[in-house]
Chains A and B, each alone.
Chain A
């Protein structure tokens, strides 16, 4: 996939770009308003990751211009405001999704994948990983053509793992992905372990031993 990342914080820009490139995406970066406009005008992208709080200009203007040009580009807005107005404005203008700083790269990645799946650019609603396949429209996972009986959270978890395969996911990242604001509601992550262990058991029972423990308290979905 060809992705353009527009963000004026270079450090963040680099981190996002590196993370996405590891997944085999082609990432281009723009750190200013004019730079972004120039690149959007010149090239076609499958996806635009856009910080709307640019110092040099409003990201919303870029979004508007992009939509005017009738380009079939998926867009994800990054915002530092928790403001709902921005959210509504962004989505009104045709952004596909919205993420608030600070975010986990794994989270951004899974949102990007979701947007691309929905998009028209070679996105597929089926995700394959060895013998596992997920039908994202029906929200069903299959192992060797057999439908798995997963709870909603287990399904989300499996999707998150596969989307970020080969990455180390700490329980914090997982908690925040699955429960958003509620992830800080209790002191311990017992509830995370329960869900992960249930999913692990269901996969292992079908012979798919992909959820590995990393560093004692983290996880990695990997085929080794």
Chain B
């Protein structure tokens, strides 16, 4: 299937086929009719001419005076017999005062030892008129039948395919997370009804798989938390107990550290699947400037790091407030994590984009993998490798476009915003 090919609607396609076939047929049948009627008429004229000529001959042979009626009938005596011929000719008709088309039959016959050339003519105008009239009436009849058939067919096809179109709409509206199964229009057409059955089966399967997967994610996320909480609580109890030595404390601390990592990992994976499940529906107007300022203040407390926000104008986006915070947070913390020591981080916000810039020594090796889960350029042991994947997911959700480039020894993470 070539996706680049221009797509055409089913009804249009069938109409188009009908139209082209009908046009070809019309043209062809009209041409055939034209020649057929013309031959017929010509035969009639010839017969008429021949019968007139036969009458003249018999009247001559009966010694009647020779009948002349130019240009219709001309009888002359000729020295010798010539060849008979039948042809079209143009003759000036005084009655009409113009040149007229005539069909003429010239015959030679020997009557009573006298050679006669008998010329009989008749006007073709009449027969041409008849021909035109026949063709035109034929065309009119044909056209009206054609128009009728066209609309009849169209409405018939529309009716016939109606369940198909309706069900297509239903499928477009189908959402995995919807509580209700897909409702399809029943049809008495076998194939449509089979299609419905298949679609229903498929969507039900997908829905149940999705539900199980979601259930699984939630269960894992939930069930994991409790044992972690118990481990955490027991370690807390242990470090407050008696008889620990420094080494043991060190190891317990490090276990705490790992628990924290697991917790973060779990939290971020859960967040990712929540975004994928489209479970963030609380849209509100988020002032990005405000969110960034607050986050930057928060992070400046954390690290002795200089984060500068440059913004010409207030940027407000319609999105989930929590996700807006996560987006800003992850971009900032990514920059902090990978920035060279004691260098400032610059955040540039304008109407169409948000860019976070931090210094670096060399460009990222595989920028195309940056926004994938668990991709780590450096082995920051504490990094979950999910921060930028979450950024990407949030961008996908709202139609933003994240990109990365390296210039002047600086990493740039740029989010093209789609202002709502």
A: which residues have CB within 8 A of B? 9, 11-12, 15-16, 18-19, 22, 53, 78, 80-84, 100-106, 151-153, 167-168, 170-173, 176, 179, 181-187, 191, 194, 214-218
Given contacts A102-B228, A182-B333, A191-B302, contact A170 B222 (CB under 8 A): no
Residues of B contacting A80 with CB < 8 Å?
Answer: 221-223, 225-226, 229
In the complex, B299 has a CB within 8 A of chain A = yes
Closest to A109 in B: B236
Which of A103, A170, A171, A187 contacts B229 (CB under 8 A)?
A103
A147 → chain B, closest Cβ, in Å?
21
In the complex, B240 has a CB within 8 A of chain A = yes
Residues of B contacting A216 with CB < 8 Å?
Answer: 246, 249-250
Contact code string B235-262 (vs A, CB < 8 Å = 1, else 0): 0110110001110011011001101110
The 6 closest A-B pairs by CB, nearest first: A215-B249, A15-B233, A101-B229, A80-B225, A102-B228, A102-B229
Q: Are A171 and B221 in contact (CB under 8 A)?
A: no
Q: Are B225 and A101 in contact (CB under 8 A)?
A: yes
B179 → chain A, closest Cβ, in Å?
16
Given contacts A104-B236, A179-B302, contact A217 B249 (CB under 8 A): yes
Residues of A contacting B303 with CB < 8 Å?
Answer: 186, 191
Q: Are A100 and B225 in contact (CB under 8 A)?
A: yes
CA distance A30 to B225 in the complex (A): 20
CA distance A68 to B155 in the complex (A): 64
Q: Are A82 and B259 in contact (CB under 8 A)?
A: no
Beyond the given A170-B239, A170-B252, please list 16 additional residue pairs across the A-B interface where CB-CB is below 8 A: A9-B229, A12-B230, A19-B237, A80-B225, A80-B229, A168-B240, A182-B299, A182-B329, A184-B261, A184-B383, A185-B336, A185-B337, A187-B380, A191-B302, A215-B250, A217-B249
Given contacts A173-B256, A187-B380, contact A102 B263 (CB under 8 A): yes
B247 → chain A, closest Cβ, in Å?
9
Do most interface residues of chain B lie in helix, strand or loop, or is the interface mixed?
A: helix
In the complex, B21 has a CB within 8 A of chain A = no
Residues of B contacting A170 with CB < 8 Å?
Answer: 239, 249, 252-253, 256
Closest to B232 in A: A102
In the complex, B381 has a CB within 8 A of chain A = yes
Residues of B contacting A18 with CB < 8 Å?
Answer: 237
Q: Are A101 and B228 in contact (CB under 8 A)?
A: yes
CA distance A182 to B218 in the complex (A): 23
CA distance A168 to B299 in the complex (A): 26
Q: Are B239 and A168 in contact (CB under 8 A)?
A: yes
Closest to A176 in B: B260
Contact code string B126-144 (vs A, CB < 8 Å = 1, else 0): 0000000000000000000
B: which residues have CB within 8 A of A? 218, 221-223, 225-226, 228-234, 236-237, 239-240, 244-246, 249-250, 252-253, 256-257, 259-261, 263-264, 266-267, 270-271, 274, 298-299, 301-304, 322, 329, 333, 336-337, 380-384
CA distance A173 to B249 in the complex (A): 13
B343 → chain A, closest Cβ, in Å?
15
Given contacts A105-B233, A186-B336, contact A53 B222 (CB under 8 A): yes
Closest to A181 in B: B264
Given contacts A81-B222, A182-B302, A186-B336, contact A167 B240 (CB under 8 A): yes
Given contacts A53-B222, A172-B257, contact A186 B382 (CB under 8 A): yes
CA distance A153 to B337 in the complex (A): 21
Given contacts A80-B222, A216-B246, contact A185 B302 (CB under 8 A): yes
B210 → chain A, closest Cβ, in Å?
18
Q: Are A82 and B221 in contact (CB under 8 A)?
A: yes
CA distance A57 to B302 in the complex (A): 41
CA distance A82 to B381 in the complex (A): 23
Closest to B299 in A: A182
Closest to A151 in B: B301
Closest to A215 in B: B249
Residues of B contacting A53 with CB < 8 Å?
Answer: 222
Residues of B contacting A11 with CB < 8 Å?
Answer: 230, 233-234
Which of B232, B270, B381, B383 contacts A104 (CB under 8 A)?
B232
Given contacts A102-B232, A170-B252, contact A215 B260 (CB under 8 A): no
Residues of B contacting A194 with CB < 8 Å?
Answer: 304
Q: Are B233 and A187 in contact (CB under 8 A)?
A: no
CA distance A103 to B256 in the complex (A): 10
CA distance A80 to B244 in the complex (A): 30
A184 → chain B, closest Cβ, in Å?
5
Closest to A78 in B: B229
Query: Can you list 17 A-B contacts (CB < 8 A)?
Result: A9-B229, A16-B233, A78-B229, A82-B221, A100-B225, A101-B228, A102-B229, A172-B256, A172-B260, A179-B302, A182-B299, A184-B382, A184-B384, A191-B303, A215-B239, A215-B245, A215-B246
